[in-house]
Structures are given as C-alpha cells and as structure tokens.
Chains A and B, each alone.
Chain A
C-alpha cells in the first residue's frame, strides 16, 4: 500500500482546541463530522477529555471557598487600613517637615536655629559623601545659601580635564590602578543576593542578571556592566528597589520590563583603549525575554562616535505617537503622590529619571547624582549632587563606603557653550565625557542641558542640537509654545522601549503642563477616542518645533538651525489631555 496522507491529519491537531471549544463554529462542525467516521480520532478525543474529566472531578473536592469568609474579609480590611494609617502618618510627617522648612526659609537669615531644627528633620546625609559634601558647592538644597563661589572658567576647567593632560589619553583616568582596585572591590565575581523577596541578583562578568522573583515566573532584567561597575551591590539593590517602585514598573506584570535603565547605562561597555566603542546592543539581547533566539533590542543608544554600521531601520522603528496612543498615558502627577525617581536639578522642576551615579551636565559645573530617592513632586530633598569637577579623583573605595567617585570631568557642556567655545571643542568634550570610564562610570544625562530658560538658551540649544544631530536617533521635545523642553538620545525601537518612552513622555508632558500652569486649572478633557482615532489625530496634528529666536542661530557660526526642513522632517505633535507636546525625531 502506498503511503497516503491520513484523512485525520487535518483534524487531529484541531482536537485540543475542539475540546476546549476554541474552534470557530465552521471548523468545529467539520471536526464533528470527521469524528463520526473516525474511531482513531474518537479515541484521541476520549483521551483528551479524560484528563479534563479527572481534573474537574478532582476539583469537586476543593473547598468552595474559605470556611470563614467574614473573618477573612475583616482580616484583609484591617491590614489595608493599618497600611493606609501608616501612610497618612508618613504624609503628615512629610508635611510637618515641609512646614518646618518653609518657616526656616522665612526666618533663615535671622534665626539660624530654626533652620537647624528643620535640617534635623531631613534625611541623614549619605555617609559616603560627607567628606565631599563638606567641600561641594551645590550639595544640600535645604542648606543656607552658600557664599558666592569662584567658578573656574571653562578654559581653566578644560585644562584640568583628565583628557587634557597630554600624558593621559582620552577616555582614561590617570590612576588606572586605583580604578582597577575599585572595580575589583566593587562586586565579587559571583554573588547571589535576595532583596526583600523581590529580586535575585546574579553578578556576572557581562553584567548583572536581576531575576525578579515576585511571581512564579522568573523575569530576568539586565543591569549592564557599566551600571554594575558603577554601583556596589548595596547601591545596586537600592537602585533596583527604587526602580521597582516606579509607577510604570509593575512587578505583578508577567511581561518583562527593564528596570528603567537610562540610555546612558546602555551606552556601551567600558572602554578598553579609550576609543573603541561597541554598542551593547551588539553584545547583549537586552530584554530578549520569553522568546528564545529572537532578541528584541529595546533601546538603541546614541554613540557620540559615528556609528560604523548603518542602524537598522524600517518596521522596527516604533512610532512614539503610536506608543502614546496605545499606552494612554496617565499624566496626572497627582495620581502618584511620589513621582518617578526624581532628581530636581537647579533651575528646573522637571523630574528626570536619574539613577544615582549619573553625571548631570547642564549647570555651571557637571554634577554626579550621589543619591536620589523617591521624592514628592516639587521637593528637592534627598537628591545629593556631588560636583563632578573640583573634586579630585581620590581612592576609589574607602572601606566599603565610597562607591561613587567624583572625578575631574572638566567644564560642563553648558559652561563651555556659554563661554562661546567652538562647536568642535564642545563636541570633542562631549565625546570625552561620555567616553570616560572614570571611577564612577557615570553616564551623562543630556536632557538637563536644555532646561534653563534664559537669553542665551537659544544659543546653547542651537549648539546642542548640532551636537545631537550627529546622532542617528533621538527625540527632541518642545511644548506648545515651541519652547524646548527636553532632549532624549535614545532610539525608540522595539516593544521594550515603549514603557521607557512612556515614562519619558510622562515627565515631559508634566513639565510642559507646569510651564503652562496658568491654564492648567481647568481639568483636561477626558479621553474618549479609540486608540486608532487618537493616533490618526496625533498624526494630523503636526506642528513645527523649536521656534527659537533667529538670533540664536545667527550667533553661532557654522551651526545651522534645527528648524530647517531636515530637522523638522519628522516633527510630530502630541496632544495629551489637552496639552500639546511636540516630539521631533532627530533625523538620521
């Protein structure tokens, strides 16, 4: 007999779905008619059904419910109420502290004692930084105004930047041995830690795998070598705890999430020779969870060095508008008493996600965020900024204390720009900043560069945009007045980028709303559109971005305005509950 395809072939595969009533009606009836004449499939069906029947019969002996439902209810309510009372007490304490601070500010000049009392209510300083804080120009936002400082000129600072010394090649710190010692001491080679039943860390040479064991499903999150090097295990755990507590990270969700690493964290592996940069995405399938063999690169990063290979494009690019429409961002800051991990930097109220250890460029001097914790919106407590300049690189780690090491990083980009530095100098300095491994391995947070209103901002912005335009990807955000709100240098690609983008947009929209606060009093209209409708509207709602004063461009030789066709090619607008925030994709 010649082998023929069995008549059952089309049906046997459909039997489980048939048993589960998951087949479309038409297919179901064809399976039924096949079954009538096929003893083999009938037998298979019986087998399938027997498992179901056993389970259902077994389930009959499972208790119908808790034997004492009222008692259970009472217990749950008692626990919930106790927790809420605790929260209220905490909130009250916070308010009292704020009141005390306000009072202290009012009488600060005359009554230093009051200030002292208020300060006592604040969180204890991060012990590792006490020494640095003592000499730091901006450290404690609550402290009395410091005496006027003499800020070195950018030229002076530049002369002190590590890469300015001829003996030290770019991207390397001078005391390499100390750095090695620091790195060696920072984390043991293999280590498993448990954090409040939430995470397991496995430190590995290529990074730290964070296993979120909140649920039965293990989710694996990646902390890059940069972050792993920059943080000691304790900081890492603290950081994870903070990250996990962010509103957009829901540990109960089965979907793997990044821990909100900044794009800077993903920038690249530490430099070997100071010049080669290998984007991490080539090395590690970040977020490649759940589907073996199909890594999804959630984030691309912005290498300041020109990228050799062409970046992937096409269908992979996630449209931020689509993300916006799909995600239905919740934008009320009041929805969360405490905002995202918040570092409020001088001159801005924009909450920005900055993990401790990050370099912040944008002020007169660059700063390293030494400590950032959850903050109530508009509070500046608990963010410790340690100047990145003026503090010499010392011992990398002191008896398990100092894990973040400030370093001499040269002038801030902003200062450099304001001092009228040549665009090429700025770019080079920016590259060096990013490339420097430095003890703390702090990636710069570029967004902050642009949050200063001022007459010269147009100039700064124009230069900055010029720098940024070298990047193949990025986001520029402006508000509905055409003012610059922020800049992000991540490429928005892949599914995993969506939450991060959402969070970023959330922050920017918040800032835009704050700026327009005079009109915020009326509640924003509720969303009634479907996702598709909203997306269509968003696409139609294009606006020009970056309507900066023309003088800005004119003032900077060799820098073309970002409002030209090239820069605005991909300009899109977002209307978010009545607020418009424009998003510009930086053209490639």
Chain B
C-alpha cells in the first residue's frame, strides 16, 4: 500500500504546512482535515509497533492531540512528513519503552561517563540489542523479528520499507546523516534476515515471499 504521506498533493489541496499553521492558531477545522488525511498512516504506524488495535488507537489520538498542541511551534518549511514521523516515532517508541520497562522490573544502570559522546541505546535496556525481546511471545514472526531490532534500526527500516521515505527524509526524522541512515538500513536488513532465519515461521515467510532461503545464523553478506 502506498504510504499516504508520500502521495503528491492534489492541486487544490491545502498544504499540510498551512494546516499546521492554522492549528497553531487554534483552528480545530484544520486539525480535522489533518486527521482525515493522516489518521490512517498514523494508526498503521502505531499498529505496526504494538500489533494491537487499542494501543494503536490510543496512541493515534495522543499523536494528533500532540500535533495540535505543538503546532504553534511548527515552522512551515515543507517538512511536514518528517515532522509527522518524528513525533509519531518518538511517541510510539516512548510508549513501547515504558511498557517494556514496566515488564522488566530490573533496570540497568548506564554509566553516563562511560557512554560519553555516544547516543545511549535506551529502548533495549539491559539486554543485548540484538536479542529479540518479544520474538518468543510474538504470534507473528515478522513482527517478532522487527521487535527484536534495536529501535533506531527498526525505525529506519520501517520508514524506508513501509512508509517509503527517502534516505534524506529518514535522516531528518532520525536526525542522522545520510551515511548513518545507509549503515542503519544495511544493518537492519541483515539483522532482520538473520532473525527471520532463526525461526521456522520466519524461514517460511522468507521462502514464501522472497524465494531466498537463508540458513539459520546467516544473514546478508556484509
């Protein structure tokens, strides 16, 4: 399915930027229009993260409320798409992180000095980032494999493969350079292929769709 946000706007369509500005002035009509345009995309994004209707709906609501509330600070420079995904991704993965934290009582102490100069890896706390946390309990092999990816990798992969964003846009969303995006995507595909190959259901997906049948433990070539 084509990503909603990347469709070229119809000629008479009011740009999203303008709608955001109106939202910033408190016009709820503009929010209604944004909802009509983008709630499907937002809902799907949330659903993919949680694979749950109720959570997806709640988060979609939260997202639009937040969009409206922050609209006053929005600078209309034609970057609505990246703004949209940035806010959305942050919202979803923040919620996911909290959920995991609730589930995992023990918390890891990250020594800030040891991590100096690096981006902390927050969402896979206390675990090897490549361990699929949810794979075991997931009913869905692909979702499980995705859930096992480091969050930034997962975000990048989803934005590219499922939302159809360009590298540059992904870089904007994740605040990364083009090169970092490339590296992340490459790593993501590799890890995903490996994770899929590690479960029978995943191997089934691979053979059904891609025709390729990687062996367990084997990912894409570096």
Contacts and interface: CB of A to CB of B under 8 A. Distances in A.
A124 interface: no
B117 A285 contact: yes
B206 A62 contact: no
Interface stretch (A66-74, A136-144, A402-410, A420-428): A66-74
Given A54-B209, A62-B47, A216-B122, A254 B186 contact: no
A400 interface: no
A408 B43 CA distance: 59
B65 interface: yes
B48 A20 contact: no
Interface string A6-43: 00000010001100101000000000000000000000
A377 to B, nearest CB: 15
Nearest to A67: B53
Contacts of B96: 216
B45 to A, nearest CB: 9
Contacts of B26: 84
Interface string B51-70: 00100110011001110111
Interface in A36-60: 44, 46-60
Interface string A60-89: 101111110100110111011101100000
Nearest to A328: B75
Contacts of A54: 142, 192, 196, 205-206, 209-210
Interface string B100-129: 000000010110110111111111000000
B43 A58 contact: no
A379 interface: no
- Residue of A16, A49, A255 with most partner-chain B CB within 10 A: A16
A111 B69 CA distance: 43
Interface string A214-230: 11111010000000000
Contacts of A60: 1
A16 B185 contact: yes
A519 B66 CA distance: 37
B143 A16 contact: no
Given A20-B167, A47-B220, A84-B26, A52 B161 contact: yes
Nearest to B196: A54
Given A60-B1, A216-B151, A81 B28 contact: yes
B86 A51 contact: no
Contact of B117 (A49, A84, A213, A292): A292
Nearest to B175: A254
A46 B175 CA distance: 30
Nearest to B193: A51
B160 A20 contact: yes
Name the prevailing secondary structure of the B interface residues. Answer: helix
Interface stretch (A201-209, A231-239, A450-458, A573-581): A201-209
A16 B116 contact: no
Given A54-B206, A292-B118, A216 B161 contact: no
Contacts of B167: 17, 20, 22
Contacts of B20: none
Contacts of B132: none
Contacts of B1: 59-60, 64
Given A50-B210, A77-B32, A202-B112, A66 B40 contact: yes
A569 interface: no
A180 interface: no
A69 B39 contact: yes
Contacts of B160: 20
Given A20-B167, A62-B47, A289-B119, A254 B39 contact: no
B182 interface: yes
Nearest to A22: B167
B14 interface: no
A291 B47 contact: no
A318 B56 CA distance: 43
Contact of B86 (A52, A247, A252, A294): A252
A215 B66 CA distance: 13
B210 A51 contact: yes
B12 to A, nearest CB: 22
11 contacts: A16-B185, A16-B186, A51-B161, A57-B209, A80-B64, A190-B109, A216-B90, A216-B96, A220-B119, A250-B70, A254-B173
Given A57-B205, A218-B122, A295-B117, 19 more contacts: A16-B189, A53-B209, A54-B210, A55-B192, A60-B1, A62-B47, A76-B31, A197-B94, A206-B113, A213-B94, A215-B94, A216-B93, A216-B96, A217-B93, A220-B112, A250-B73, A252-B66, A289-B119, A330-B75
Interface of B: 1, 26, 28, 31-32, 35-36, 39-40, 43-44, 47-48, 53, 56-57, 60-61, 64-66, 68-70, 72-73, 75, 86-87, 89-94, 96-98, 107, 109-110, 112-113, 115-123, 140, 142-143, 151-152, 155, 157, 160-162, 166-167, 173-176, 182, 185-186, 189, 192-193, 196, 205-206, 208-212, 214, 220-221
